[in-house]
Amino acid sequence: PADVFNVVDIKQNGPFFKLIFSAVVGANSAYPEILPMSWLTPKGLKTIESEVDSCTAGGALFGLSAPANFSDYTNIPDPFDTPGAKAVHELVTLPQKGQSPTADMYVYHEYLDEIIPIAGTTTMVDAWCKAGTPVAYEKDLTGDHVAGTASGAPAAFLYLVGRFHGEHLVPPTAQTCNY
């Protein structure tokens, strides 16, 4: 997602909490200041132990789980409102201030994505377009997060094949800028 922290914030207390928790645990490997181990309750430590080598969000089917909140697993009210987390937020949020891709970009996102809201992607694309980056942005209604990946992959593949052949093969429904 373009704004990981926004996804974490809005998906707390929802059915995808375990999936989001697993993603934070993974990101914490690269950025341990997000969620220092000293902030975890015994429940938080136990949950992380179960997530470390998991690919299925604690065994939850499709990442679905009982609603929960990070404060249920930490001894501080909001681990994402700390200096360390705020510093990481700047590093992992797109678009990066004062930077935009120098290569043309193909971006696709499902309107009905139940895990990653489309708004962050649209904000990123708008910023890149304003910065002069050539962008083809396909917004689709063919599915949710998982089905959208499958239904969007053929167009993305064709786009890449076209780029390797010096062409711009963009779906006719894609919003484009700077081409």
Per-residue pLDDT of 12-52, as tens digits, reads 898 888 888 888 888 889 999 999 999 999 999 998 887 66
In order along its 179 residues, the chain shows pLDDT tens digits of 999 999 999 988 988 888 888 888 888 899 999 999 999 999 999 988 876 666 655 445 455 678 889 999 999 999 999 999 999 999 999 999 999 999 999 999 999 999 999 999 999 999 999 999 999 999 999 888 989 989 999 999 999 999 999 998 999 999 999 98
Nearest C-alpha neighbor of 107 from the set 61, 160, 144: 160
The DSSP bridge pattern shows strands 135-140 and 105-110 to be parallel
Q: What is the DSSP letter of 40?
A: B
Cβ–Cβ under 8 Å, residues 66 and 60: no
Q: Which two tokens stand for residue 9?
A: 């914030």
State which amino acid sits at residue 12. Answer: Q
Residues facing residue 139 across a β-bridge? 109
d(CA 161, CA 19): 32
Strand order in the sheet with 175-177: 105-110, 135-140, 175-177
H-helix or E-strand spanning residue 175 = strand 175-177
Q: How many distinct helices (H) and strands (E) make up the chain?
A: 6, 3
d(CA 69, CA 17): 7
